[in-house]
Structure 1
Amino acid sequence: MSHPLSAVSQMLERNQALFEGKHLLVCGALEDEYPRDLAGIVRDLTVFTTDYSYFRGQEEALGERIVFGHELGGAPRFDALLLLMPKAKAEAQFLLAMMTPLLLAGADIFLAGDNRGGINGADKLMSPYGGKPVKRDSARRCSLYHGELSQSVPSFRLDDWFSQYQCQLGDTQLTVRALPGVFSASELDLGSQMLLASLPPLTGTLLDFGCGAGVIGSVLAKRNPGLEVTLVDINALALESSRQTLAANGLTGTVLASDVYSDLPGCFDQIVSNPPFHAGLKTHYAATETFLAEAPRHLNGRGALTIVANAFLRYQPILEAAFKQTEIRTMDSKFRVYRSLR
């Protein structure tokens, strides 16, 4: 069953003569099936996504034309790039720096996105790569800019894009490494701090769901020697950040891409999370609600789920329906820490 196209994709559909016959590379905030339409009009297509959920949804239709990961390498081979603007400006800069070395000289660069998501900064984003881009279309609060690769670009070095900082949580000090746009990329949020402060010593196996830069799983691994930690996220940039955070602290853990519970091996004694509820410019609760409701099936025996959530989110009824016992461990005006026993 096909789904309606986003406003951005409808705008691109009106302008798809710009892409005909191209060796096209598409990346950024992919959210619908429009790349399938592009596959029918371009000479060849590569869709690069950092979103495992999107990859799983499109893999059957696009096959080898869709690539999931934190980095795309290779020799220059594309004569057009379409960047769908991500929410974070730093992530857009990161993707352009990664993709432009894969473009042939004089290649077309198209930037498309919602006007609330940074597309109006297209001139500055494009300045390292060519002249001022032309606005090709603007409708329904979306814009399409068209520029050309007219400057030489340096090779992409992933390591140049990691931020690094130290955080102190009680007696535990952690080095955090993160790529642009990843949760906790520049500092540890207050909710995660409250969550980590509320947890007792842990043993057995632990799942850090929606791991971001890997702070929760890494702190718990450091505090609890012998704890087997698995970190999962749908974001490839988060997964690579978590690998780097573990390595920077001399820790070991399993890091996996998973769309909620899609790719998890077995069950766990503990699930701990600061679950995400934002995706792009919209607020999404469905994935987190699925995560909470299905958690008991992924816990051993008397396993426990511990999460922190914004106080306004109505997660308590979901937890009470799914678990035998749920309590609020700690709370303030902004956050609540829930602990639920299977």
Structure 2
Amino acid sequence: MFEALTPVGEMLTRNFDPLCRQKLLICGQLEDSLPRMLAEQGPAPAVFTTDFRYFQWLQQHGYPEAEFGHRPRQRLVEALLLLMPKAKAEAEYLLAACLPLLAPGARIFIAGDNKGGVKAAPKLLAPYCDQVNKLDSARRASLYQAELSRPAPAFQPADWVRRYPLTEEGLQICSLPGVFSAEHLDSGSRLLLDTVTSLHGRVLDFGCGAGVIGASLLKRHPGLELELIDINALALEASRLTLAENRLHAKVYASDGLAQVTGKFNHIVTNPPFHAGLKTFYHTTETLLTQAADYLRPGGSLILVANAFLPYPELIERNFGHCETLAATGKFKIYRATR
């Protein structure tokens, strides 16, 4: 899945010498086998990832230096490589979380796609470094290098939490950088919540993001046995914070699609992922539509919102035998299928 090097990874292979001189911590948009290649050239880099799928892939390949979570644990590292994430705010968060692990004078590298925000590296590093240099540019990707000029402030996770009200539901939503619905309720989720009026029993919020859908459903139906899953550690932490802020209780955990889910549900409700990094990405949703019936109790339903142009009804009909459109706007449609 992650074996082939990305263009950013290919560009970084030209820079193994500066990257391999010290114990390196890698974080950000990890999408290939770069850590394993670096381990063949020098000390095995530590990897901090918020992507559960990537973490699992490293574990399956016996990579011992991988960590999954919303913040890195304390460890001895001598340099940092940030692979530029899609959201600039997430890059700021990752730098704030990881740089306190480094001593002044340590090297900091930022690499990424030229269209993916990497040109912001000098501004991102300005609070920490007096000078930032462009080390390389190739394969439409760039690498920047700097030295930590002063001790980075201790990381305070609470400083990165953003809140906004969901007035209609009487909820306060908490979010973290890079999480879907980070600053406001998206119109697709609003349509879904306006459409779904009656749920019962065990419910799965698939791709929970900041926990907007799950918390709203639980507020309306306090008796639900709710589970929230996502592949992103920042989304999972945001969902936990949203639930705690509103004194709601549910099970929140990482799952690669439905792989870590057990048992069957009365309802699976989702505003499924549509983008991964800079790319349009349908695989997770298509896999969900293929497998969902196996995770539903008899009479159980799959309810999802999707962009109206996506060909999901055909896939739903193929696996459920039918697909009902509950609501539609010019941009979104709400689909339901019952086992």
Q: Do Structure 1 and Structure 2 share a fold, with TM-score over 0.5?
A: yes
Q: What are the residue-to-residue correspondences of 1:150-161 with 2, within 5 Å?
A: 150-161=149-160
Q: Secondary structure of 2:61's partner?
A: helix
2:258 equivalent in structure 1: 261
- Structure 2: gaps spanning 5 or more residues: none
Distance 1:2 1:176, change over 3 A: closer
| 1:21/1:41 contact within 8 Å kept | no
1:90 equivalent in structure 2: 89
Given the alignment of the two structures, is residue 241 of structure 1 paired with residue 261 of structure 2, yes or no?
no
Q: Secondary structure of 1:116's partner?
A: coil
Which range moved further: 54-63 or 22-31? 54-63
2:99 equivalent in structure 1: 100
Given the alignment of the two structures, is residue 17 of structure 1 paired with residue 17 of structure 2, yes or no?
yes
2:319 equivalent in structure 1: 322
Q: What are the residue-to-residue correspondences of 1:121-270 with 2, within 5 Å?
A: 121-169=120-168, 172-270=169-267
1:36 equivalent in structure 2: 36
Distance 1:222 1:63, change over 3 A: same
Q: Give, in angstroms, the shift of residue 21 of structure 1.
A: 3.3
- Output the CA distance in 2 between the equivalents of 1:111 and 1:21: 16
Q: Give, in angstroms, the shift of residue 143 of structure 1.
A: 0.3
> Could you say what the CA RMSD is over the residues aligned between the two structures, in angstroms?
1.2
Q: Give, in angstroms, the shift of residue 45 of structure 1.
A: 2.0
Q: Secondary structure of 1:105's partner?
A: coil
- Output the CA distance in 1 between the equivalents of 2:65 and 2:255: 20
- Output the CA distance in 1 between the equivalents of 2:205 and 2:78: 41
Of 273, 277, 281, which residue of structure 2 is paired with 1:276? Answer: 273
Letter in 1 for 2:106: A
- Structure 1: gaps spanning 5 or more residues: none
1:118 equivalent in structure 2: 117
* Aligned residue pair count: 339
| 2:38/2:44 contact within 8 Å kept | no
Q: Give, in angstroms, the shift of residue 133 of structure 1.
A: 1.2
Q: Give, in angstroms, the shift of residue 2 of structure 1.
A: 7.5
Q: Secondary structure of 1:78's partner?
A: coil
- Output the CA distance in 2 between the equivalents of 1:270 and 1:2: 32
- Output the CA distance in 1 between the equivalents of 2:286 and 2:138: 34
| 1:113/1:142 contact within 8 Å kept | yes
Letter in 2 for 1:133: V
Q: Give, in angstroms, the shift of residue 209 of structure 1.
A: 0.2
- Output the CA distance in 1 between the equivalents of 2:103 and 2:23: 10
| 2:160/2:177 contact within 8 Å kept | yes
Higher normalized strand content (fraction of residues): 1
Q: Secondary structure of 1:231's partner?
A: strand
Q: Secondary structure of 1:145's partner?
A: strand
Q: Give, in angstroms, the shift of residue 63 of structure 1.
A: 3.4
- Output the CA distance in 2 between the equivalents of 1:157 and 1:114: 29
| 1:22/1:44 contact within 8 Å kept | no
- Output the CA distance in 2 between the equivalents of 1:324 and 1:225: 32
Listed one character per residue, the Cα deviations across residues 91-110 of structure 1 (whole Å, up to 9, x for unaligned) are 00000000100012211000
- Output the CA distance in 2 between the equivalents of 1:254 and 1:238: 14
| 1:25/1:46 contact within 8 Å kept | yes
Letter in 2 for 1:221: L
- Output the CA distance in 1 between the equivalents of 2:162 and 2:212: 14
- Output the CA distance in 1 between the equivalents of 2:136 and 2:230: 35
Q: Give, in angstroms, the shift of residue 153 of structure 1.
A: 1.4
Q: Give, in angstroms, the shift of residue 74 of structure 1.
A: 1.5
Q: Give, in angstroms, the shift of residue 19 of structure 1.
A: 1.7
- Output the CA distance in 2 between the equivalents of 1:20 and 1:194: 50
| 1:59/1:66 contact within 8 Å kept | yes
- Output the CA distance in 1 between the equivalents of 2:61 and 2:198: 46
TM-score, length basis structure 1: 0.97
Listed one character per residue, the Cα deviations across residues 271-303 of structure 1 (whole Å, up to 9, x for unaligned) are 000001100001111111001111000101110
- Output the CA distance in 1 between the equivalents of 2:231 and 2:252: 11
Q: Secondary structure of 2:105's partner?
A: strand
TM-score, length basis structure 2: 0.98
Letter in 2 for 1:168: T
What percentage of aligned pairs have identical amino acids?
50
Distance 1:253 1:2, change over 3 A: closer
Letter in 2 for 1:141: R
Q: Give, in angstroms, the shift of residue 39 of structure 1.
A: 1.4
